[in-house]
Amino acid sequence: MKTYGKNRYIAFTLRILLWSHRMMMWISTRLGLKRKNVGEEGYDILLTGTFHSANWILTHLKPLSLAQHCRRVRVVTDFPIPPLDKVEVVYPAAWLVRIVGRVLARLLTFAAVAIHSRPHVVGGFHLLLNGLTVSLLGRICGARSIYFCVGGPAEVLGGGILSENRIFERLREPDLRIESMLLRAAAGFDLIITMGTGARDFLRERGITGEIQIVSGGIDSGRFGPINDLPTWDVVFVGRLVPIKRIDILLRALKVVKEEIDQVKAVIVGDGPLRQELEVLARDLGLKDAVDFTGHCADIPSILNRSKVFVLTSQTEGLSLALMEAMMSGLPAVVSDVGDLHDLIMNGTNGFLVEDHTPEIFAERIAALLRDPNLRGKFARAARAAMESRETSCVVRQWDAILSLWRNGDVLRTNEQCAE
């Protein structure tokens, strides 16, 4: 009873939050500033987001900053960003972080910069709470607003219960009313960027008629590429160690594989709240010497180049950056058939899609690739070829097409394809 009452209180609070956002959007639409003209130098773009790695930043920010019609990208974040041409970083003041916390300090700083500088475009990665803040500031400042839907349908399904947002994940059960309110909020953006077709189709099916473009982010083919190093690991996972990734399934699958291939070796790259629990599980399964936990690693390309097969056992995904990097590195993959992963993996051609999320099925697919070097090589070449349209230069052209249409006053209608 206490849990039920607490869930009702949380749901009520979130509904009030979203209703307030809707009212402020209505007011700012009528009282907000008019859009600024775009000069010859191009668009000033202001973004914010919760970034988890330098690779993630390079994938999404670099192609946008390299676009011909982009003058400057400012990013408000508390994550250290590597130097990039035309990219300026604004960090929240330390005193503000101490007073209100990291997330609120970042969003307040973002709002201050937006109101002071009046950029042509404001954008936020994830709807909660970055996107909600961006849509409102876009109306106030007279800027176009972009919602980067990098988490896929999980950002709104059930009211954001699977979004990994610390506020919305407190819901104890799905709330369709909050889901509807989040979808209505998403419809208020000038442009929604999804990573793949699944997220786009999900939003369309739920009534969003505005502009949606698929821009997956660009992978540097020079940085991630096949190298003939002797492999150190048979299986590699790269990602955050959180419940939604279901790394427990991966470990149980490795136990099954080990019964057939005794010397199998795996590496789990990344960190998170489940690390200690997963290390204990690995020991309990007899995998202490078979699985390496590296924690955060700056040199992901080196690890991918010394691995044979990439595995992702997630419960839900958008379009996995880690999978894109692995495929560009020439790795076949065994992944859950969820989210937009089918945009990358052609089952039986460059990897395996697993519908039945059991350790036994994952183990069967992993073992098939480890036993057969010829099949692994065939899949590896196909994986690399499938990534040509996701290369950085291709994504730069996508952004130039979008910004060019905006600049010419045209309406975006279809996704711009990468043409060589």
- DSSP sequence for 232-285: SEEEEEES--SGGG-HHHHHHHHHHHHHHSTT--EEEEB--TTHHHHHHHHHHT
Same domain, 247 and 186: no
In the chain (420 residues long), the average pLDDT of successive 10-residue segments reads: 62 91 93 86 93 81 94 93 90 96 95 96 92 95 94 88 77 88 94 93 94 92 80 94 94 96 94 94 95 90 94 89 94 93 94 94 96 95 92 93 82 45
Q: 236 has which bridge partners?
A: 267, 310
In a domain, 32, yes or no: no
In a domain, 5, yes or no: no
pLDDT of residue 415: 46
In a domain, 156, yes or no: yes
In a domain, 139, yes or no: yes
Compute how many other C-beta atoms are within 10 angstroms of the C-beta atom of residue 416.
17
Same domain, 198 and 261: no
CB-based contact 149:203 (threshold 8 Å): yes
| The total number of structural domains that make up the chain | 2
Same domain, 190 and 137: yes
In a domain, 140, yes or no: yes
In a domain, 102, yes or no: yes
Same domain, 122 and 244: no
Same domain, 293 and 153: no
Structural domain boundaries enclosing 307: 233-390
H or E element, residue 71: strand 70-76
Task: Please give the C-alpha separations between residue 200 and each of 130, 281, 336, 405, in angstroms, as whole numbers.
Answer: 19, 37, 19, 20
> From start to end of 102-248, where are the E strands?
121-125, 144-149, 191-194, 212-214, 233-238
pLDDT of residue 409: 67
Same domain, 195 and 97: yes
Task: In whole angstroms, give the CA distance from residue 356 to residue 82.
Answer: 40
Same domain, 182 and 244: no
pLDDT of residue 222: 87
Place of tokens 């739920």: 206
Same domain, 244 and 207: no
Q: pTM for the complete prediction?
A: 0.86
Same domain, 246 and 371: yes
Q: How many residues does the chain have?
A: 420
Same domain, 190 and 87: yes
CATH number at residue 173: 3.40.50.2000
In a domain, 417, yes or no: no
Same domain, 241 and 151: no
Locate 304 and state its tokens.
Answer: 């991918």
Same domain, 126 and 258: no
In a domain, 13, yes or no: no
